[in-house]
Amino acid sequence: MVYYYQIVTKPLASEPLKDETCPVCSTKGSLQLTLYMRYISMLIPIYGMGRRTGVHCTACNHEIKNPDASIFVKKKYSDNIAVAIQNLRSTHKRTTWQLLYPWSFWFVLLIIIGIALVSTRLQKNEVAKNKETLSHPQIGDIYKGSWDRDGVQSASVLVKNVRMMGDTMFVVISKDYFNTNPYDKKEWAKLSPVFDNKEYKLRLSSFVSATDFFEYPNAENHNRLTYKGAVLGKGSMNLSFDVIERGK
């Protein structure tokens, strides 16, 4: 991958030197002093290089002081010009944007890194909390997840744990369901927390080990252990809403 960069010299302020005469065309008052901001840009500013000044003649374009010249170049201008340069540098008030602009990339980079670190920490905490909750199911827990119902594959429903006995977890599912994006918080908010009366017998050990809903064999599933669905994201995704509502 090739990265292109350039050194930018951006003018900030200018003022005429009315009492100075151009040494080339001898025009009085034609010299102009300009204060520049200098920085390295790679699509956006990434590194500030301080402020520079330049002096040129507006009549003949002779350059007395080049803003891009090395700071070690011997000055070839009068003491009056040197004083004017110092005064402009000291009196020019930079805006907040001008103060931050050359360093904006680094500020943004630090903010991005900070957000990423915080997000990662929060995600790990959320995953750990979900893992702990899922490994110790309680009566009354409600899970957001997928469920094969009414011939609809992977409908998004609420699954409620109503009781447990041995390796069996009895659950009921919400009457409402949807088939659109299951990671959309607004879709889940539309579901009514009203559940069907029909209970499903699930294998508790399968739920604890993999957060999957496996229904025990019965007449409706042709006497086979049947996969019915799973907790949304298996509880290991960083979502903007809770996947598990702890029973009380």
Query: What is the reported pTM?
Result: 0.55
At 222 the pLDDT is 87
Residue with tokens 């957001």: 144
DSSP 3-state of 229: strand
Torsion of CA 135, 156, 191, 170, to 10 degrees: -50
Out of 19-33, 110-124, 232-246, give the one with best mean pLDDT.
Answer: 19-33
Round the CA-based radius of gyration of the chain to a whole number and report it. Answer: 35
- Indicate the average pLDDT of the chain: 86
pLDDT at 239 over 70: yes
Q: Where are the domains of the chain?
A: 6-94, 137-245
pLDDT tens column, 210-222 = 999 999 999 888 8
Using CA atoms, how far residue 231 sits from 39, 134, 161, 172, 218, in Å, is: 52, 9, 12, 14, 22
More confident residue, 82 or 112: 82
